[in-house]
Amino acid sequence: MKKLLFLAILGTGLMAHAQDYKKVQASVMLNQFENAKKEIDKLAADPKAQGKAETWYWKAKVYSALYKDDKTKHQYGNLETVVDTAFKKYMELDKEMKMVKDNGGQDIPFAVYQTTFGYGVNEFNNKKWDSAAYYFKFAVEYSDIIFSHQWASNKAAFDTTAILYTAYALQNSKKMDEAYHYYSRLADAKAKGQGFEDVYKFILITNSNKKDKAAFDKYLAIAKEVYPNEDWDEYETDYVNKNFTLKEKSDLFDKQNAAGTLNAKGYLTFADMFAHIPQEEKDKLDSAQQAVYQDKAITAFKMAYTKDTTVAIAAFNAGVLYYNDFNTWDDRNRANIKALQELNAQKAAIKDPKKKAALTAQLAPQVDALKKINQDNEKPMLDAADSSIEWLEKCYSTLKSKTEKTGSEKNITNKTVDFLANLYLYKRDKVKVKDPKAYDAYDAKYKLYDSLHNQ
């Protein structure tokens, strides 16, 4: 009898639990969610009920409804965490989501998604980035559940807007690694549309900073595919500048130059790298190595102009580098001339003919050496002047035909004519005695360019 009585009592307990779920369900059907909350809270407090999928399903169902309702969503604290915990425990216990299918439970993830997204937008508009990201991450997670089960009328793979705003909020919160995670989801899906170019730009810059060549190349290829008309060259340049040694840059230039794959902009990019070597790298180079890179810069500038003769800055920079060479030779010659003058002054200071003759003989090797050096310098100095004139005149020719010049173009034009005036003055004075006809021609050029300043 005692056994039978115990079984009867046990049976009554099981019936009570079943009845309790029915009470929750009935309250839900009548939209009496606060009553349903009382009932489900009683059940959930029972350790035996915590192992049942029904408990967590109905808790998620009830609390998601309270969360969605403007009248109740602020009464019970962070309801999104309560719903999230309950729904995840339910999914663990009911892998096939039978109760969701049988009881219209799709409204649970929809309630979390819609409400958290709304909160996220509000916080985002108020520039509360951490809070916005907190809510948007819920929205992404629950929209993923919705889309993965095809419960939405939209059959997209995921909610691109929720992911994008999550990434934005995280980026603004300076949580770059988390932002990268969400941006990369969009890039992997080849998302596109207004504003989505920034997704790929963020990813490329991040991978440049991380020196992750494989990821950089992967997303660069996707970016070019999705936005073929966007200029992605600067991001490739950024990667090379941040991660390549000077020698690697040089080797890459040689390879691409030989292959003929560089356009004007590509040549300009390499030219700038070689013309403006960071000082810490430049200090490691001897004069011969520096000369090699300057020659590469000149070659690249010249090729850029050859590829596109409207790029006056390329011709200008080539001309300026030659002009700098000309000035280097000129400075050496002037230093040697000054040294000769000092030696002659020593001789002039001596009045005694014998002593003067002796000093002249003594100084003769130094004088001859200085004269020889200056004589040897004449050809490279003249070559630099002629090359500078060639490229500066190309620059001037390109710019003079422009009726509307930018401030930068006006500045370049003025510098160009000033340099050309100086160069023709040098050439004119070199032939003053030897060739009157050439003197007149160079003088005319000098006067022409000298008169063009500020025009």
- 81 CB neighbour count, 10 Å cutoff: 11
Q: Residue 302 domain-assigned?
A: no
User: To which residue do tokens 């009845």 refer?
Assistant: 19
Tell me what pLDDT residue 105 has.
87
Q: In a 3-state reduction of DSSP, which class is residue 29?
A: helix
Q: Residue 255 domain-assigned?
A: no
Q: Residue 437 domain-assigned?
A: yes
- CA dist., res. 138 & res. 438, Å (int): 82
Q: Residue 403 domain-assigned?
A: yes
pTM for the model? 0.73
Q: Residue 121 domain-assigned?
A: no
Three-state SS across 165-233? HHHHHHHHCCCHHHHHHHHHHHHHCCCCCCCCHHHHHHHHHHHHHHCCHHHHHHHHHHHHHHCCCCCCH
Q: Residue 375 domain-assigned?
A: yes
Reported as a single tens digit per residue, the pLDDT across 358-404 is 888 888 898 889 889 888 888 999 999 999 999 999 999 999 988 88
User: DSSP code of 50?
Assistant: G
Domain count for the chain: 1
Q: Which residues, given as ranges, of the chain have pLDDT below 50?
A: 1-18
Tell me what pLDDT residue 6 has.
36
Contacts with 60 (C-beta within 8 Å, 6 or more apart), sequence order? 83, 86, 87, 90, 105, 108
Tell me what pLDDT residue 218 has.
97
Q: Residue 158 domain-assigned?
A: no
Instruction: Print the domain residue range for 403.
Output: 309-451
Tell me what pLDDT residue 32 has.
87
- CA dist., res. 269 & res. 281, Å (int): 18
Tell me what pLDDT residue 5 has.
37
Q: Residue 379 domain-assigned?
A: yes
Alpha carbon distance, N-terminus to C-terminus of the chain: 119
